[in-house]
Amino acid sequence: MKFFLDTANLEEIKKIKSIGMMNGVTTNPSLIAKENIFNKNEIDAHYISICKLLNNEENLSAEVISTEYEDIINEGIKLSLLSPKIVIKVPMTINGIKSIKFFSKKKIRTNCTLVFSLGQAILVAKSGADYVSPFLGRLDDLSFNGLQLIKEIKEIYDNFKFKTKILAASIRNPIHIIECAKIGIDAITTPINVIYSLFNHPMTNIGLDKFLKDYRKKIK
Q: Can you give the binding site for ligand E4P, defined by CB under 6 A?
A: 6, 26, 28, 113, 133, 135, 137-138, 169-170, 189
* Residue number with CB closer to ligand E4P (142 or 219): 142
Q: Cβ 123 to ligand E4P, closest distance in Å? A: 18
Give the residue from 109, 77, 71 showing the smallest Cα distance to 93. Answer: 71
Contacts of 181 (CB under 8 A, 6+ apart): 1
DSSP characters for 121-172? HHHHHHHT-SEEEEBHHHHHHTT--HHHHHHHHHHHHHHHT--PEEEEBS--
* Residue number with CB closer to ligand E4P (51 or 92): 92
Q: Cβ 209 to ligand E4P, closest distance in Å? A: 34
Assess contact for 90 and 110: CB atoms under 8 A: yes
Q: Are strands 24-26 and 59-63 parallel, antiparallel or unpaired?
A: parallel
Q: Cβ 149 to ligand E4P, closest distance in Å? A: 14
* Residue number with CB closer to ligand E4P (33 or 206): 33
Q: Cβ 116 to ligand E4P, closest distance in Å? A: 11
Give the residue from 62, 61, 58 showing the smallest Cα distance to 21. Answer: 58
Contacts of 50 (CB under 8 A, 6+ apart): 8, 10, 13, 25, 27, 60
Residue type, 215: Y
Cα 82 to chain center, whole Å?
19
Give the residue from 167, 92, 84 showing the smallest Cα distance to 122. Answer: 92
Known catalytic residue at 217: no
Q: Cβ 30 to ligand E4P, closest distance in Å? A: 6
* Residue number with CB closer to ligand E4P (28 or 120): 28
Catalytic entry in 89, 107, 154, 210 = 89
* Residue number with CB closer to ligand E4P (26 or 110): 26
Residues known to be catalytic = 89
